[in-house]
Structures are given as structure tokens and as C-alpha cells.
Amino acid sequence: MQKKLIALAIAGLSSTAFAQSSVTLSGYVDGGYYGQSLQTAGLADTKTAFAANGSGTSQFNITVTEDLGNGLQAGYFAETDLAIANNAGAALGNSANFLHLTSTKWGSIKGGTLNTAALYAMIGAQPFGTAIGSGGSGAFGRLSRAGANGGYVAGATAGTSVEGEYGAGLAGARSVRVNNSLSYTTPNMSGFAASLQWAKKNDESGVAANTAGFQALGLQYNNGPANVYYVNEQITNSGAAASTNAAALALGEKVTHNLLTGNYTFGPATVYAGWTSSKSSVSNSIDARSWNLGLKYQVTGPLWLAANVLKVDDKQAANQDRNLNALGLEYAMSKRTVGYVRWEDGDNDKSNGAVGNFTRYQIGMRHSF
């Protein structure tokens, strides 16, 4: 009996010492025929070309996991956003990129460049993901001056940023991911989960690399046909004079975003709704609200149609209200290949009749692997 116990103990130690990580490669590639028309200074700027990412961001993902036993798992995830429309190189792990320690009992801790809870809330608000029609694309972000890395993008005017295809017009910004951040996510409890994400604000005097601080609370309910998201996100600029964010907003300025979004599926239809607010601690800097309504209808197994209507209400004196209307169609040719059509039309500044009207469309294909 003693020999059997010793053998079992040695076997257990060996399996722990030499446990193997599993590596999964996945992703998808998206591209198609793209067209746009943008009104700038009273003139229409048009463009047609083969373009990527009409329905989602082309990406290559590496997922590494190791089972540590007792419901505990360690791992690493790296997403690389691919540039398929040109030959520009894509650095490995140029998107979400993090280590994690996950327990089925206690939840998950992550560290690295992490997607925000606001990103998932915006995806849950409408049927178009993060691409054309979503209102969360780089060309039309519904949050005011939240940069893709949790900082800020210098705007052409207060409350706006210049990005995407509409660099000559006025566009909002979005909360996508945060560098150098930590997060904790609770385990799923009958559909309910919560998350906290944090990145340190640097205030060292005379250092040009000072960065804004970031903190966010996310609550979500995902159970059956109902999905609901609430996010409170706060980004505080460095108070040091050399802050890299000083060109975008005042030293020490804090901007708070609130998002309440969700969707509900009944039969072949899914209805979507979303509300956001963006408010600055500095007067006459940022004060905006947005709301949207969306619908997705499964016509047949492989075919669905979708629509989204989005309004942004600017409370500042400039009154740079914005709107977006979108339609889409997807047809699954197989489990991995999808054909799609996306169209959106709107105005990036309704107070200015000479600039801001836009139309975008793409007819393309997405292949997953």
C-alpha cells in the first residue's frame, strides 16, 4: 500500500511539473468593395477601393492556456489586427494582449493591454459589432473624446476628435482598450457578472510620458434571450505640465462616461437599445448624450437583416449634434464564410451645413479560421 501511495504522489508531482500548455490559433479576415462620400467645406469627397474590415476587424489570435487544477487556469492572449488592404506590416500582439489567472470559483485577473467594458457594452447595443453601421467605428464614435487606449485624442474642436476616414469632418471617439491596465472579473453568477479595470495616472513633473489614469466599473447580465450592460468609466488627465494629454484637455481634467445598453431576442428577431453620457469636470469642455435603437431579423437560417439608428445630443454651446442611420445584410455561405452588405449615412455636425454629411458602404466577405 505504501509503495502505491508513493507512486501516486510521484505521478501527481510529475503531472504538475510537466503540465503542457495548449495553444490555439484563430481569427478571421474581412474585406470587400468599399465606397464613401464625405461633405467637407461644401464639396463632396468620394472614394472607392478594396478595403478591409467592413463588418469587423481582421485579426489573428493566439490563445495559450494551462490547466493548474482545482478549477484554476493560467494563460496568455494576443490579438493582432491585420492590414489586408495594403502591405503594411502588423506587429504581433498590436491589439488586446494580456496575461490572466482564472478560477471558476473566484473569477479572473488580467494584466496588459485590455479591452474595456465600454467596448462590450457598445457591441451589445446594436447588431453591427464595431464596424460600419455600429456607431462605434473609428469614423463615428458615440463617446466624446475617449481615445482608443483609454486616453484622449486631440479634437478639431471641443468634444470632437479627428480620426478614421472622416479626418476632414467632425467625428466622435470611442473607448476600446487601455494600455498598462489591470482588471478583475467576477465569476458568472446566474447570468450576473461584474468587472473592475484600472490604470495608474502618472504625474511626475517634467516627464513627457505622463499618462491619464483610468478606472471603470462594469456590470452585466447575460442569460438566455436577455443581455444588459452598465458601465461607469472615468479617465483623469495627468496634472503635470509635461502631460502628453495636455493638448487634448486641461491638466487634471476628468471625463466620466456612463453606458446602459442591451438586447433581447424573441423568435427570429433581436431588438437593441443603448444610452450613453459623457461629462467633463471642466465647464464647456464635454457634455453629450447619445441613444440608439437597433433590430436584427433572422430571415432564414443563413440570412439576417439589420438596422440601427443613432443620435448624439451635444449639450455645449457649439451644439454639434450628430446622427447615423445604418442597414446591413449577412448571408452565411458556410460555417466559416459569410457574405455581407453594410451601409450607413449620417451627419457628423448638424449645426454646420457645409461639412459633416457622410455615406459609407461595403460589399464584402468574412472568413473565420
Residues 6+ away with beta carbon under 8 Å from 229: 117, 120, 121, 124, 125, 218, 219, 220, 259, 260, 261, 262
What is the per-residue pLDDT for 97?
Answer: 94
262 falls within a domain = yes
Q: Domain span at residue 192?
A: 114-368
Residue 17, pLDDT above cutoff 60: no
| 76-126 pLDDT tens trace | 999 999 988 887 777 888 899 999 999 999 999 999 999 999 999 999 999
Q: How many domains does the chain contain in total?
A: 1
CATH label of the domain that carries residue 176: 2.40.160.10
68 falls within a domain = no
| 297-315 pLDDT tens trace | 999 999 999 999 999 998 8
28 falls within a domain = no
259 falls within a domain = yes
223 falls within a domain = yes
What is the per-residue pLDDT for 170?
Answer: 44
283 falls within a domain = yes
| Rounded-to-integer distance, Cα 108 and Cα 71, Å | 11
Q: Which grid cell sits at 213?
A: 489614469
Q: What is the percentage of the chain residues whose pLDDT exceeds 90?
A: 57
Residues 6+ away with beta carbon under 8 Å from 47: 34, 35, 36, 165
